Amino acid sequence: QKEVEQNSGPLSVPEGAIASLNCTYSDRGSQSFFWYRQYSGKSPELIMSIYSNGDKEDGRFTAQLNKASQYVSLLIRDSQPSDSATYLCAVNIIQGAQKLVFGQGTRLTINP
Amino acid sequence: EPEVTQTPSHQVTQMGQEVILRCVPISNHLYFYWYRQILGQKVEFLVSFYNNEISEKSEIFDDQFSVERPDGSNFTLKIRSTKLEDSAMYFCASRYHGTAQGYTFGSGTRLTVV
């Protein structure tokens, strides 16, 4: 069973601060990693993908990947109240057919 | 921006009834998926579909479930005899050949079994 683990939170961060979300995964063969944002009652929305070790920046978001440690993280700079959501870490598993396996999500609240 | 479209957005059904959830994936995508999310729980893989056949299914996807791509655009999930525990959000997803653009999810169907 390929697992993806996240701290379920809730994580509370003041507006303007950096929010740091973490994820570990068990499948050493995985090559593609994604962060999705999910508002309550809505579908997952892709915000970042990362494939290589190191950092990838897109606006206020930075994804970090360390394959040796099987660790993915997401940093949100200058956090806004609209960033309040559940953040889902997802790993593309290649075992037979490809599929995404999700962590349980971290609920993030940005306090004005 | 291309979208994955799901209908209906909310379906209420009586236990034991059959339901069909519908999805229209992005037109040039090749791989299609159904996921479900029970309230407060993680998003779980149900089934993947490629080249008009199931490529993988999870333990959840038992004989009560089936999928079909009847006309080259729609992708359906049928639950033959619904149980109370089938109540969940069901998400359709699709992707192109690689994963560079990720998997695109539809807006979901909330299924309530009473």
Q: Which is more confident, A60 or A7? A: A60
Q: What is the pLDDT along chain B (114 residues), one digit of tens a residue?
A: 779 999 999 999 999 999 999 999 998 899 999 999 999 999 999 999 999 999 999 999 999 999 999 887 899 999 999 999 999 999 999 998 877 678 999 999 999 999
Cβ neighbour number for residue B2 with a 10 Å cutoff = 12
By C-alpha distance, which of B80, B87, B112 is closest to B16? B80
A34 contact residues in B (CB cutoff 8 A)? 102-103
Distance (Å, whole) CA B39 – CA B42 = 8
Distance (Å, whole) CA A84 – CA A108 = 5
pLDDT at A2: 75
> pLDDT class for A97, splitting at 50, 70, 90?
confident
pLDDT at A94: 85
pLDDT at A74: 98
Instruction: Specify burial of residue A99 (Cβ count, 10 A radius: 0-12, 13-18, 19+).
Output: buried
Please write the tens of the pLDDT for every residue from A12-56: 999 999 999 999 999 998 999 999 999 999 999 999 999 999 999
**Strands lying side by side in the sheet with A54-58:** A4-6, A19-25, A71-76, A61-66, A54-58
Contact A92 B107 (CB under 8 A): no
Contact A44 B104 (CB under 8 A): no
pLDDT at A49: 95
Pick the residue from chain B with its C-alpha nearest to A103. Answer: B42
Distance from CA of A14 to the nearest CA of B (A): 25
A8 part of contact set with chain B, CB < 8 Å: no
> pLDDT class for A9, splitting at 50, 70, 90?
confident
Contact B105 A103 (CB under 8 A): no
pLDDT at B63: 95
Name the DSSP class of A83: G
Q: Which is more confident, B45 or A1? A: B45
- Whole-Å CA distances, B28 to A65, B3, B96: 30, 11, 7
pLDDT at B1: 77
Please write the tens of the pLDDT for every residue from A56-79: 999 999 999 999 999 999 999 999
pLDDT at A95: 79
Instruction: Calculate the dihedral angle through the C-alpha atoms of B64, B69, B74, B76, rounding to the nearest 10 degrees.
Output: 0
